């Protein structure tokens, strides 16, 4: 297969940077720094966090309702710089793919799809700020980042594997991998919705929720209203206790279902044929166990920042392991 010499290292760099962006996004969100810069794409009218006294005074005059917090603004801009760099790398990948589009085996559709997703992801980033952390936008931004990460991994795997899988492999692994991806995607959505609605610590006990009760009057109808109009400031959340409880409990139930499904997927991979699938299954099982521990720690320790960020990273690694399993079910080694 003919392609640019830089194609593989750029794809690998994009994947690594994509994982960093996902983790930084979680760190920014969980540090309550999502509105550290109240404008977009700059920060208080500049492309760097104001530090000089005159610049700080000017920034506070521009946004008197949101005085500058340099720590939060720095986290927000770090995430934007990383995301912007990832966008540029994906743009180069798309340009290289288009230039070499007539080369045998050169992927073109995937790099172009990634470029379109990056543009849409940038819009979601802008709306996250300008629409004041609207939960559906924040959650969509998380899902967009995970989708880009998954597609970059698929693109990278395509550098090593090609053609149809061995006979029977699809029948054994493909439905399991697809089921795992669908269930995990729904759970990532529930996790994002929980975080965006500040519902992570509404149940401080485990396995019970609060005051020894497992199901303390949740309001699911209120907790899952996805659109409440514009002009609402969602920083700190707007839901009452029953609605936040419903969101949290939905995430817990989703976690139980996800664990059971992914245990089945990992077992199918570990005890199936093929060394690659067994390695993926073992990796998935290890990450899944860590995820369960981190989830419980986040509840009992009132969401310590390192554990909460690691929980997001664990979800990304589980997704990548499922993508690897799906890829192994669809293609064979060169």
Active site (catalytic) residues: 76
Who's near 273: CB < 8 A, 6+ residues apart?
A: 169, 172
Q: Are 196 and 139 in contact, with CB atoms under 8 Å apart?
A: yes
**Is residue 163 classed as helix, strand or coil in its secondary structure?**
strand
Indicate the angle between helix axes 305-330 and 241-270, nearest 10 degrees. 40
For residue 229, give both structure tokens.
């109009």
User: Peptide bond preceding 41: is omega within 30 degrees of 0, i.e. cis?
Assistant: yes
Q: Are 158 and 326 in contact, with CB atoms under 8 Å apart?
A: no
Q: Which of 12, 48, 330, 32 is nearest to 153 (CA)?
A: 12
Who's near 53: CB < 8 A, 6+ residues apart?
A: none
For residue 88, give both structure tokens.
């540029």
**Is residue 41 classed as helix, strand or coil in its secondary structure?**
coil
210, β-bridge pairs? 213
Beta-sheet pairing, 161-164 with 331-333: antiparallel
For residue 196, give both structure tokens.
């965006």
């Amino acid at each position: 297969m003919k392609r640019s010499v830089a194609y593989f290292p750029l794809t690998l760099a994009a994947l690594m940077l994509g994982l960093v962006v996902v983790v930084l996004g979680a760190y920014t969100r969980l540090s309550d720094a999502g509105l550290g810069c109240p404008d977009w794409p700059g920060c208080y009218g500049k492309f760097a966090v104001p530090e000089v006294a005159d610049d700080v005074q000017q920034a506070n005059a521009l946004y008197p309702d949101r005085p500058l917090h340099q720590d939060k603004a720095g986290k927000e801009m770090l995430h934007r710089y990383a995301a912007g760099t990832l966008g540029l790398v994906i743009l180069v990948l798309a340009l290289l793919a288009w230039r070499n589009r007539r080369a045998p085996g050169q992927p073109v559709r995937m790099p172009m799809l990634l470029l379109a997703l990056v543009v849409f992801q940038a819009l979601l980033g802008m709306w996250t700020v300008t629409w004041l952390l609207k939960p559906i936008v924040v959650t969509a931004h998380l899902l967009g980042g995970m989708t880009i990460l998954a597609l970059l991994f698929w693109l990278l795997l395509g550098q090593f594997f090609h053609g149809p899988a061995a006979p029977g492999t699809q029948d054994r692994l493909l439905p399991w991998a697809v089921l795992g991806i669908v269930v995990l995607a729904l759970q990532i959505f529930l996790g994002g919705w929980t975080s965006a609605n500040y519902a992570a610590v509404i149940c401080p006990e485990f396995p019970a929720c609060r005051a020894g009760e497992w199901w303390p009057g949740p309001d699911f109808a209120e907790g899952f209203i996805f659109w409440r109009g514009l002009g609402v400031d969602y920083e700190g959340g707007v839901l009452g206790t029953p609605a936040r409880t419903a969101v949290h409990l939905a995430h817990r139930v989703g976690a139980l279902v996800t664990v059971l499904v992914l245990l089945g997927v990992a077992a199918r991979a570990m005890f199936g044929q093929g060394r690659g699938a067994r390695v993926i299954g073992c990796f998935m099982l290890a990450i899944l166990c860590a995820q369960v521990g981190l989830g419980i720690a986040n509840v009992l320790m009132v969401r310590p920042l390192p554990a909460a960020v690691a929980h997001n990273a664990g979800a990304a690694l589980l997704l990548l392991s499922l993508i690897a399993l799906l890829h192994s079910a669809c293609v064979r080694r060169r």
